[in-house]
Amino acid sequence: MREPDGAENEKMTIILKPLKIGGLTIDFPVVLAALAGYSDLPYRKICRSLGAPFATTEVMIDRFLLHESKLRRFILKSDADDHPVGGQFMGSDPELMVRAAFVIRDLGFDVVDLNFACPVRKVVSRKRGGFMMTQPEAVLEIVRRVREAVPDRPLMLKLRRSFDLDETDAEAFWTIAQGAFEAGVDALCVHARAVEQQYTGRADWNFLSAVKRAFPDRTIIGSGDVATAAEAIRMIAETGVDGAAAARGAIGNPWLFRQARELAAGRPALPPTITEQRDVLLRHYELCLRHYGDRKGVMTMRHLGIAYARVHPHPKRVRMAFVAVKTAEDWRNVIETHYRETAEGPG
Ligand SMILES: Cc1cc2nc3c(=O)[nH]c(=O)nc-3n(C[C@H](O)[C@H](O)[C@H](O)COP(=O)(O)O)c2cc1C
């Protein structure tokens, strides 16, 4: 008999509304965040099959979008079941950003998503991603040019609350947000940490409340510290944002989306059974091999198996087993050994 886990079993009283991004209506407001190394086509399909209503590619650098390559194929491949989907990219040259936006539109992405939030050092030092939080006028120039060039697709921005931790530049966020909405941006996804914080410390949900108060009629998606389904719903309830993006909380736990829908319907959020975990892992494996080919597919699933281990009843043991995987056979052996319902419980 499965017990709902404590943190997931809170009584939720909020009525969740569909999420609107421009002309797009997304039936449920807990979505899969853009996640480098994770939010590829296989994982988007897995998350959708468990209730995620919207997902975004990992971020690409604008100029890498412009030419066919293996990297572009891996990141931008989508299919008929993978909608609505956002295509995300970053850069600092308005001309290149416009050309990248054309590619995203022409490949059939439903939302054009510009990233001004990425904190990776190499990205920031090359004056892209989160660096742009120090350059509000340059951001707005890009936004206006992209909006004008691609008027027929919803446009969204990924922002951080500020660049530095002391918030000496706190005004930049508000300049960008105000200017972006005036330029016709349809939604902001706000990660409530400073760029310099990277992924450490707490996300400031009070900041999300302030953003929603400042733009009550605009679509704001909150990001930061959505570790569980209950936290996704609590973020929406407490801050008033229109949607919550699950990021690290969804890595290895695609059931978060099913749990969020259950909680929203007033039912307890049950953890996945061992059989459900096995089925999803096997399906993910097939999708990964199809997407990446055999060699890269198996190595990707080794890495993802390690992430999935955290929802297994014996996480340490299963994690170590995935860490030791070298071949497709090893990987299948981990599934056979640890994902079988036996009389004594999962092995
Ligand atoms: C491994 C990893 C990769 C990420 N890749 C992206 C990305 O490509 N684009 C993006 O907008 N955000 C990216 N993010 C940020 C997340 O979307 C999210 O904003 C952030 O992790 C905060 O949410 P959390 O505290 O619930 O994890 C990434 C985060 C992580 C941990």
Render pLDDT for 63-98 as a digit per residue (tens, 0 to 9). 999 999 999 999 999 999 999 999 999 999 999 999
- For the chain, strand residue ranges (E) read 19-21, 24-26, 30-32, 55-56, 60-61, 85-90, 111-116, 155-162, 187-194, 219-223, 243-246
- 7 — pLDDT class (breaks 50, 70, 90): very low
Collect all residues with Cβ–Cβ distance below 8 Å to 102 and sequence separation of at least 6. 149, 150
Q: Do 56 and 33 form a contact (C-beta atoms < 8 A)?
A: yes
pLDDT per position as a tens digit, 253-271 = 999 999 999 999 999 999 9
Binding site membership of 203 for ligand 1 (Cβ less than 6 Å) = yes
CA distance 46 to 42: 6
pLDDT at 337: 97
pLDDT at 166: 81
SS3 222: strand
pLDDT at 13: 61
Structure tokens at 134: 């120090």
pLDDT at 325: 98
Mean pLDDT over residues 313-332, rounded?
98
Binding site membership of 37 for ligand 1 (Cβ less than 6 Å) = yes
Mean pLDDT over residues 201-220, rounded?
98
Break the chain into its structural domains and give their ranges. Answer: 17-264, 274-338
Residue 117: closest CA among 96, 85, 147, 139: 139
Other beta carbons within 10 Å of 314: 14
pLDDT at 83: 98
Lowest mean pLDDT among 54-68, 93-107, 163-177, 300-314: 163-177
Binding site membership of 162 for ligand 1 (Cβ less than 6 Å) = no
Mean pLDDT over residues 123-143, rounded?
97
Ligand 1 atom closest to Cα of residue 58: 8
Q: Whose CA is nearest to atom 2 of ligand 1?
A: 35
Q: Whose CA is nearest to atom 21 of ligand 1?
A: 247
What is the whole-number distance in angstroms between the Cα of residue 137 and the centre of ligand 1? 25
Q: Do 241 and 220 form a contact (C-beta atoms < 8 A)?
A: yes
The type of residue at 330 is D
pLDDT at 32 over 50: yes
Q: In the chain, pLDDT over 70 holds for what percent of residues? A: 95
pLDDT at 236 over 70: yes
Domain 274-338 has CATH 1.10.3470: no
pLDDT at 250: 98
pLDDT at 347 over 80: no
Spell out the CATH class of 17-264: alpha beta
What is the whole-number distance in angstroms between the Cα of residue 158 and the centre of ligand 1? 10
- 176 — pLDDT class (breaks 50, 70, 90): very high
pLDDT at 226 over 50: yes
pLDDT at 58: 98
pLDDT per position as a tens digit, 271-297 = 999 999 999 999 999 999 999 999 999
pTM of the predicted protein model: 0.95
Other beta carbons within 10 Å of 341: 12
Binding site membership of 191 for ligand 1 (Cβ less than 6 Å) = yes
- Give me the chain's average pLDDT, please: 95
